[in-house]
Amino acid sequence: MNTIKEYKCPCCNGAIAFDSEIQKLKCPYCDTEFEIETLMSYDEDLKKDGSDSLEWELEGGREWHEGETEGMRVYSCKSCGGEIICDETAAATKCPYCGNPVVFMGQFKGDLRPDYVIPFKLDKKAAIEALKKHFKGKKLLPKVFSSEAHLDELKGIYVPFWLFDAQTESNIRYKGTQVRFWSDSKYNYTQTNHFSLIRGGLLDFERVPVDGSTKMADDLMESLEPYCFDDAVDFQTAYLAGYFADRYDISSGQSIARANERIKRSVADEFMRTTAGFSGIHIENSSVRLGKNSAKYALYPVWLLSTSWKDKNYIFAMNGQTGKLVGDLPMDRSAYRKWLFGIAGSVGIAVFLILTLLWFL
């Protein structure tokens, strides 16, 4: 019986002993009972546990064609370090991310040529209209946000993205329970059955996006998603005319960790959907392996307007393809106090609550 003594309780990790009374293995710590066969097959499953294998064969982006970048210029922001590219006809003056002046760096060279671009679908006029509508009725918004001259500073920026394609083969071992309650005249009973759930399968991922710019905040950019790739076309420099392009400062190689994280989470979520009927589900072992994979480099359109107010920078962003808006707006406290003045206490509080709620909608 030596081998049996080595078994550990899968529920509490205690050492299991044979209970001659019930003719089963029983954990003396948590009282869980096991059939020998169950425990042996569980032990076999543990031996099959694998680890992740997430190696990418990267190839995103291409070489520029001869003479293609000749009319392109680079500007740099001394304040936030952002670097933007535009064609020579659209000279940049202010940084689209922080509103500070930019300096001319020279002709654009190096980097990789994008594979795809999703062209702007909404022009500047449409973006300004949407922004005005967004500001409408917000009486406490500081004037600097809504002045025509300021709205005119709205800039169309192409944000660099690395798009990861991958076939995956994964195995995940979950632990889960099913609990049954019943009672008789003397006692209440609880029976907890423990299960080892093994799931395996193939999932293909297409274009898992990771933005290649540190200047574009990840949460802001992810709030602008999704982009519909159906509109994407092969990159041509002509698409940049009149717009700016953010120069990527995160390479495809540096974006792998984030892509892997998104892929692993999606695999776990997808497999999790097959565990209905069990409670307390958690992952005991996960192995995600990449098969055929590749990366592509694409530019996605964003309308950006940065506004500084009281030493703080506010960014308004709009998906240049779908029109989805993101951005927080400050409240002008002095206008707010003037406005509130004269309203009776209880009404004031109600209005305050409603106003605060509206503000966060």
CB closer to Zn ion out of 29 and 359: 29
With CB under 5 A as the contact rule, the residue among 8, 11, 42, 275 that binds Zn ion is 11
With CB under 5 A as the contact rule, the residue among 7, 34, 56, 97 that binds Zn ion is 97
Task: Select the span of 8-16, 58-66, 158-166, 249-257 touching Zn ion (CB under 5 A).
Answer: 8-16
- Cβ contacts of residue 187 below 8 Å, gap of 6+? none
Q: For residues 298 and 191, what is the distance between their CA atoms, to the nearest angstrom?
A: 55
CB closer to Zn ion out of 4 and 12: 12
Distance spanning both ends of the chain, measured CA to CA: 66
Q: Are 302 and 320 in contact (CB under 8 A)?
A: yes
Q: How far is the CB of 13 from Zn ion (least distance, A)?
A: 7
* Gyration radius (Cα) of the chain, Å: 29
CB closer to Zn ion out of 217 and 355: 217
Q: How far is the CB of 77 from Zn ion (least distance, A)?
A: 3
CB closer to Zn ion out of 9 and 92: 9
Phi/psi region, residue 267 (left: phi>0; alpha: psi -120 to 50; beta: rest), is alpha
Task: Select the span of 97-105, 125-133, 264-272, 287-295 touching Zn ion (CB under 5 A).
Answer: 97-105
With CB under 5 A as the contact rule, the residue among 18, 29, 104, 359 that binds Zn ion is 29
CB closer to Zn ion out of 89 and 93: 93
Q: For residues 74 and 85, what is the distance between their CA atoms, to the nearest angstrom?
A: 5
> The tokens of 195 are what?
């299960």
With CB under 5 A as the contact rule, the residue among 7, 25, 26, 27 that binds Zn ion is 27
The pair phi, psi for residue 227, each rounded to 5°, is -100, 145
- Cβ contacts of residue 238 below 8 Å, gap of 6+? none
Regarding 217 and contact with Zn ion (CB under 5 A), the answer is no
Looking up tokens 């946000």 gives 145
CB closer to Zn ion out of 7 and 271: 7
Q: For residues 223 and 225, what is the distance between their CA atoms, to the nearest angstrom?
A: 5
Q: For residues 320 and 304, what is the distance between their CA atoms, to the nearest angstrom?
A: 9
With CB under 5 A as the contact rule, the residue among 4, 12, 103, 340 that binds Zn ion is 12
Q: How far is the CB of 95 from Zn ion (least distance, A)?
A: 3
* Residue 206 CB-density burial (10 A; 0-12 exposed, 13-18 middle, 19+ buried): exposed
CB closer to Zn ion out of 90 and 98: 98
Regarding 95 and contact with Zn ion (CB under 5 A), the answer is yes
Regarding 77 and contact with Zn ion (CB under 5 A), the answer is yes
Q: Are 234 and 120 in contact (CB under 8 A)?
A: no
Regarding 79 and contact with Zn ion (CB under 5 A), the answer is yes
Regarding 15 and contact with Zn ion (CB under 5 A), the answer is no
Instruction: Provide the binding-site residues for Zn ion, judged by CB under 5 A.
Output: 9, 11-12, 14, 27, 29-30, 32, 77, 79-80, 82, 95, 97-98
